[in-house]
Structure 1
Amino acid sequence: MTKAWFSAGDDDIAPPTIVAVVDQQPNEVQLEVMDDVDVEEEEEVQSLSNVKVGTDYELLTIETLSKYGLSLKRVGGAGDKGIDFRGEWMINSNKYSVIGQCKKVKRKTGPSVLREFESTMKRFAEVPLLDAGGQQLQLQQQRTLIGIMASHSRFMDSVQVEMDSFDLPMIMCQITDNGIHSFMLNKAARQLLPFLRVAIRRVTKSESSSSSSDQSTIELYSHHE
């Protein structure tokens, strides 16, 4: 058996800003919401900040996954159809289509996010089945499509059970500046990629960009007889 190693080493909307304004009459203070123009300017700055945070994390995710043999391209803006990146993954001369979403929020990522992503995957997985004359007979699911959900925060404990109930191959991974910290495949993905192995590598303080204690990151490799 040979091993082919890959070269891997709450966005809540802020409430309206309220300022204290002293009234013309002494000893009376009223709360006044800032002018609409000021609020709109602040919301625009906040929106631009959120967009940059999201874009930076999408680029980090793509860069990190590319070390594991994935060739990905960021998809953003209007018409992205609910995905943040797409591309291909070559493993053991097999080519798989990949689509993915990125979540950078403070809270843990839960099952509801995965269910929404599953609906998105179904739209991308449906391909037309044509007859000899080129007429569409029906839609069938593309079984070589893999969905990747990348999260900066951890996943809730219940997501693995939820994800295993999905028909389409899906992978959940926690990605930070220090690499991939978790990489979980659902049942459909394990059946599609039986040769994929996940190993844990210990990262010391000197290797980590964080000042916290030692951490663990993920290494991936494929094998064949």
Structure 2
Amino acid sequence: MALFSKRVLTGTRSKALQQSGLDSFLKQSIHKDPTSSVYLGTMFEMQTMEALQTIGMDLSHVGGKGDRGVDLSGEWPLALSSTFAVPRLIVQCKRLQKGCSPDHLRSLVGTVVNMAHPTQPTIGILATLGHRPFTKELSGHFLSSQVPLGLAMVDENCLKSLVFNLPAQEILQGVVVTTRYTAAGDRVPVVTFKGQVIDIENKMCI
């Protein structure tokens, strides 16, 4: 079951992609400068949203003036057990050729703390370009933080990796994003719950 096939932004597109926020952005921006920082930043936000949606996250684009540091927000509706609390998600997208710094992570932490829901667990996700690994310093802050966090790497609109720190893992109760190879040799992300692959469409293990 190919849940995470990488989509191409040119040529023939699937019906799902034609209806996506990314496709809508590309159509609306046809006369804009594709090399501007605003264009590239917004496109990366849309690509990240689409990449995270492939693993079942229900997200909306927020980025813009007055976004309070939130580019994407929503939930991860994986009701896998009677004790599983669907987490609220806050995503910050950083399209930085030099990669993210601890300051970017601290900014996300502040946003999550300020916007945390009183009754629903909240996880903050920092997303960056897939070709630039997170530094040891940032990873150290990430692992030691008491705020539930995730680090995502996105290549175009394909999710390359997504890891969570311990507070986020405690919320997710055994949900893990890993990678596997298809019969064609493509490396794709897969969501598992306590070792079992999740059917994202039906929100159940298979």
Is the TM-score greater than 0.5? Answer: yes
Match for 1:49: what amino acid?
A: S
Determine the structure 1 residue equivalent to 2:89: 98
* Alpha-carbon distance in 2 for matches of 1:160, 1:87: 24
Q: Does 1:116 align with 2:116?
A: no
For 1:155, the aligned partner's letter is F
**Aligned partners of 1:70 and 1:88 also within 8 Å:** yes
- In structure 1, the partner of 2:134 is 155
Contact 2:178 2:190 in 1 (8 A): yes
The unaligned stretches of length 5 or more in structure 2 are: 6-31, 197-204
Candidates 4, 7, 19, aligned match of 1:8 = 4
CA contact (8 A) 1:6 1:220 kept: no
C-alpha change, 1:6 and 1:165, in structure 2 (3 Å) is: farther
- The answer on 1:144 being equivalent to 2:121 is yes
SS at match of 2:90: strand
Q: 1:92, 1:222 within 8 Å by CA — same for their partners in 2?
A: no
Judge conservation of contact 1:73–1:85 (CA < 8 Å) in 2: yes
**RMSD between superposed Cα atoms in Å:** 3.0
**Aligned 8 A contact 2:4 2:190 in 1:** yes
Aligned residue pairs total 164
Amino-acid identity (%)? 26
Residues 7 and 184 (structure 1), Cα distance of their counterparts in 2 relative to 1, 3 Å cut: same
Residue 173 of structure 1: CA displacement?
A: 0.7
Q: Deviations over 1:136-162 (max 9, x none)?
A: xxxxxx561111111013211232321
Structure 1: stretches of 5+ with no match in the other structure: 10-44, 128-141, 208-215
Q: Deviations over 1:14-49 (max 9, x none)?
A: xxxxxxxxxxxxxxxxxxxxxxxxxxxxxxx98981
1:183-212 Cα shifts (integer Å, max 9, x gaps):
1111101111122123222479985xxxxx
SS at match of 1:91: coil
Q: Deviations over 1:157-176 (max 9, x none)?
A: 23232112222211001011
Q: How many Å separate the matches in 2 of 1:155 and 1:204?
A: 30
Counterpart mapping for 1:13-24 below 5 A: none
Aligned 8 A contact 2:86 2:120 in 1: no
Partner of 2:190: 219
Which one has a larger percent strand, Structure 1 or Structure 2?
Answer: 1
**Following the alignment from structure 1 to structure 2, what is the Cα–Cα distance between the partners of residues 80 and 178?**
22
Bigger drift between 179-188 and 197-206 goes to: 197-206
